[in-house]
Amino acid sequence: MKIAFLLYRGFTALDIVGPFDVLSRLPGADAVFVAKQVGPYGNDNDRLSIVARSSLQEVARPDVVVVPGGTAGTREAAEDGEILAWLRQAHETTTWTTSVCTGSLVLAGAGLLTGLEATTHWAAQGELQRRGAIYRSERWVQQGKIVTAAGVSAGIDMALFLAGQIAGDTAAQSIQLGLEYDPSPPYHSGSPAKASEDVLAAVGSVFR
């Protein structure tokens, strides 16, 4: 089972590493980071680089695709002909085509979400709708073999769901236990509905 994790300049690291650390532990998983060219790709604040070990051409028929979000780089990826052509072709034979956060804008750019329900980072819902999808405020949304997750950390929840679909509940739960994913955040501001006015006002200055 070839699982392709798409990289492009400006991806958000946790968007892709959360699902990676879940899905790459499935029995029989062959996880690979892919990009237009082999080599290191910097994240959204360019403080971290993950290496693409294979080119898109080399992984033309993955079983699972995971597309991360990000900031400006994601909007470029969503209009990059080579990435979009690869996604469309890969999607013809995948068992699962997935995105995390604004990665759904890239799927939409490839025309894969037109008229479908999908989710994205809460702040990008209008953008997703303008690209032809029907926004849903859920942790993840499944439409056939397409699964889109909400912002950043939602990729972990989505990946555990996928792990269960692919390998069964016990395997997914074992991965959850291995990752000690028993969340206990010290604050409860993870969604616009739960955050205070102060926090909603401040978030724009933290996420530049």
Residue of the chain from 13, 34, 35, 59 that contacts its own copies (CB under 8 A): 13
CB nearer to its own copies: pick between 110 and 121: 121
CB nearer to its own copies: pick between 144 and 186: 186
Q: Which residues contact residue 151 at a Cβ distance below 8 angstroms, ignoring those fewer than 6 apart?
A: 69, 101, 120, 121, 122, 123
The CA-CA-CA angle for residues 160, 165, 155, to 5°, reads 30
Residues between 151 and 170 that touch its own copies (CB under 8 A): 151-154, 156-157, 160-161, 164, 169-170
For residue 85, the minimal CB distance to its own copies (Å) is 25
Tell me if residue 91 is catalytic: no
Q: What DSSP state is assigned to residue 19?
A: H
Q: Which residue stretch of 39-47, 59-67, 84-92, 127-135 sits at the interface with its own copies (rule: CB under 8 A)?
A: 39-47
Q: What DSSP state is assigned to residue 9?
A: T
Q: Does 55 bind its own copies (CB under 8 A)?
A: no
What DSSP assignment string belongs to 89-129? HHHHH-SEEEE-TTHHHHHHHTTSSTTSEE---GGGHHHHH
Q: Does 50 bind its own copies (CB under 8 A)?
A: yes
Active site amino acids: 101
